[in-house]
Homo-oligomer: A and B are copies of this chain.
Amino acid sequence: MRNQMKTLYVIKIGGNVIDDESNIASFLNIFKEIEIPKLLVHGGGKLATNLAEQLQIPQQIIEGRRVTDEETLKVVTMVYAGYINKQLVALLQSADCPAIGLSGVDANLVKAHRRQKGDTDFGFVGDIDEVNISFLQTCIQSNLIPVIAPITHDKKGQLLNTNADTIAKYIAVAMTEYYQVKLIYCFEKEGVLQNFEMESSCIDLLDFNEFQRMKQDRSLHSGMIPKLDMAFKALENGVDSVSIGKWEDLTDLVKGKKGTRLKMNHKLVNV
């Protein structure tokens, strides 16, 4: 049954695509060639940091997460759901790729709650409770490419700044109801590196046991660990494949020819 499902590509891009207009254009030139259905989840941290600086709103990043006070929430909502999202959609339309910009707020796509305060108060940062994909599926069935900004809400009227990697993972997992889902994280490296100081040490295929071993060895860049933890969870929850690599290699990432592909060990016989 699963084998007869259509493939959906869930592609996540980050700041290194968005911060530079010529990168956006080059990325979209590659992205538009990938067959539909597909959807794009984007971040855009550096542009938000720039605007916050211009507005003299002090920014604090702890463990890779932006502490989001009220003013910063306004900034990220404006930058992610406003400027970046609408610009990406307009550029896709110009390339004859019908698209729709969404945030987690729209059609109640991503409901979250404000992160519980531990030692650190991250402010208006959301941890995801659920994704509601029925309307997302309506968009895709209307041949639209959803372009999703990482702003969510708590259903009590509060907007929340939410990690785009995590949104991509939740949506990818939920969409396995309708599709064979391939999740692709684009970032600034070739893939997962055997030695994080050597770009040429990219691992083609990383299984869960090897990942656990590398975590214990501390041979992984610390920033990679939460990303990979999440990526393996996606696999565990039904996503067909997860690949990580450079946006410039997206065509080959989709084909599994570049970057790092992850696999669960217990699924080896099914691959």
Contact = CB atoms under 8 A, between A and B. Distances in A.
A259 to B, nearest CB: 28
A108 interface: yes
Contact of A83 (B74, B85, B101): B74
A55 B51 CA distance: 9
Interface in A129-161: 135, 138, 142, 144, 151, 153, 155-159
A134 to B, nearest CB: 8
Contacts of A114: none
A205 interface: no
B153 A142 contact: no
Contact of A159 (B74, B90, B99): B90
Given A55-B55, A100-B107, A144-B135, A156 B94 contact: yes
B90 A158 contact: yes
Copies in the assembly, this chain: 2
Given A100-B135, A135-B144, A142-B138, A105 B93 contact: yes
Of the listed residues A74, A86, A157, the one surrounded by the most CB atoms of chain B closer than 10 A to its CB is A86
Contacts of A158: 90
Contacts of A94: 153, 155-157
Contacts of A79: 78, 82
Contacts of A78: 51, 78-79, 82-83
A91 interface: yes
A101 B101 CA distance: 9
Given A153-B90, A155-B93, A157-B94, A144 B101 contact: no
Closest CB pairs A-B (n = 10): A82-B82, A78-B78, A94-B157, A78-B82, A90-B153, A100-B106, A81-B82, A91-B157, A100-B107, A89-B105
Interface of A: 51, 54-55, 74, 77-83, 85-87, 89-91, 93-94, 98-103, 105-108, 135, 138, 142, 144, 151, 153, 155-159
